């Protein structure tokens, strides 16, 4: 089993004053992740999976939590009380391209958590040789659309499904520890 990489454990201060602890996702998170998928509200599931969630099986949980932290990388954010409140991941779809997905619990949305996790994933991806993120999502998913607008992603929408592409760039002033309210960008619009 691949051990999680060092340097990703950190606490983030969100815009509303709450703090979350972020660390790489590991197989020990599988039971809680399975329960989160089983009990998520239908709207969150529809937005995340562009329909209903897949059946929660041991094989699915293994796929989601056993990572190599190179071509498949994920972070979990936990509140002070301990439960997970967000997961952000990328999975390689090509040599330098990875699909990105972020899900945030409803009570933790609109406070900068998704954008902070996207920054952290951008750093991880850059360090591992990726230069592009892609995302496929329901076109009516305004939070994801806003996040991708923030990251200056290029979108194509057809038949209710949006596909976006974000070029990641190595920003010379990017800090090693991203914060929720960053004043710089790791992203640039695709040509």
How far is the C-alpha of 120 from the C-alpha of 109, rounded, in Å?
Answer: 17
Residue 157 has pLDDT above 60, yes or no: yes
C-alpha 132/C-alpha 80 separation (Å) is 33
Percent residues over pLDDT 70 in the chain = 85
* Residue 39: per-residue pLDDT: 83
Is the pLDDT score of 170 beyond 70? no
**Cα–Cα distance between 28 and 178 in angstroms, integer?**
25
189 within a domain of the structure (yes/no): no
Which of 66-70, 127-131, 182-186 is predicted least confidently? Answer: 182-186
Burial bucket for residue 6 (CB in 10 Å: 0-12, 13-18, 19+): exposed
Q: Give mean pLDDT, residues 25-48.
A: 85
Decide if 5 is inside a domain: no
* 4 occurs within a structural domain: no
Residues 138 and 46 sit within 8 Å (Cβ to Cβ): yes
Which residues are 156's β-sheet partners?
A: 163
**138, 50 Cβ separation under 8 angstroms:** yes
- CATH number assigned to the domain comprising residue 113: 3.40.630.30
The pLDDT tens digits of the residues spanning 116-130 come to 999 999 999 999 999
- pLDDT, averaged across the chain: 83
pLDDT at residue 141 tops 70: yes
Question: Higher confidence at residue 59 or residue 183?
Answer: 59
Model pTM greater than 0.85?
no
**In the chain, how many domains are there?**
1
The answer to whether residue 1 sits within a structural domain is: no
- Helix (H), strand (E) at residue 35: helix 30-39
186 — pLDDT class (breaks 50, 70, 90): very low
> Is residue 39 included in any domain, yes or no?
yes
**Is 116 a member of any domain?**
yes
User: Quick one: pLDDT band at residue 38, thresholds 50, 70, 90?
Assistant: confident
For 26, phi then psi, to 5°, come to -135, 170
Q: What is the pLDDT of residue 64?
A: 93
Q: Give the Cβ contact number of residue 83 at 10 Å.
A: 11
In a domain, 2, yes or no: no
| Domain carrying residue 94 | 10-181
pLDDT score, position 143: 81
Q: Is the pLDDT of residue 179 over 60?
A: no
Closest CA to 125 of 170, 87, 85: 170
Name which of 52, 44, 50, 41 is nearest 157 in CA terms. Answer: 50
The C-alpha atoms of residue 66 and residue 57 are separated, in whole angstroms, by 14
Residue 169 lies in a domain: yes
- Name the residue with tokens 């954008």: 115
Residue 115, classed as helix, strand or coil, is helix
Tell whether the model's pLDDT for residue 150 goes beyond 50: yes
Over residues 86-103, the pLDDT tens digits come to 999 999 999 999 999 998
């Amino acid at each position: 089993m691949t051990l999680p990489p060092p340097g990703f454990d950190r606490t983030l201060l969100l815009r509303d004053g709450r703090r979350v602890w972020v660390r790489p996702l590991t197989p020990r998170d599988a039971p809680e992740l399975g329960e989160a998928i089983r009990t998520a509200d239908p709207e969150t599931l529809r937005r995340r999976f562009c329909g209903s969630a897949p059946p929660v099986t041991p094989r699915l949980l293994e796929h989601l939590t056993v990572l190599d932290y190179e071509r498949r990388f994920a972070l979990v954010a936990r509140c002070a009380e301990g439960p997970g409140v967000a997961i952000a991941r990328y999975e390689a779809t090509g040599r330098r391209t990875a699909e990105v997905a972020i899900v945030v619990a409803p009570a933790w949305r609109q406070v900068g958590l998704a954008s902070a996790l996207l920054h952290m994933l951008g750093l991880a991806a850059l360090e591992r040789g990726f230069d592009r993120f892609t995302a496929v999502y329901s076109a009516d998913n305004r939070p994801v659309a806003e996040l991708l607008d923030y990251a200056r992603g290029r979108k194509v929408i057809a038949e209710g499904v949006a596909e976006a592409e974000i070029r990641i760039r190595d920003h010379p002033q990017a800090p090693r520890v991203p914060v929720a309210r960053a004043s710089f960008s790791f992203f640039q619009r695709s040509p």
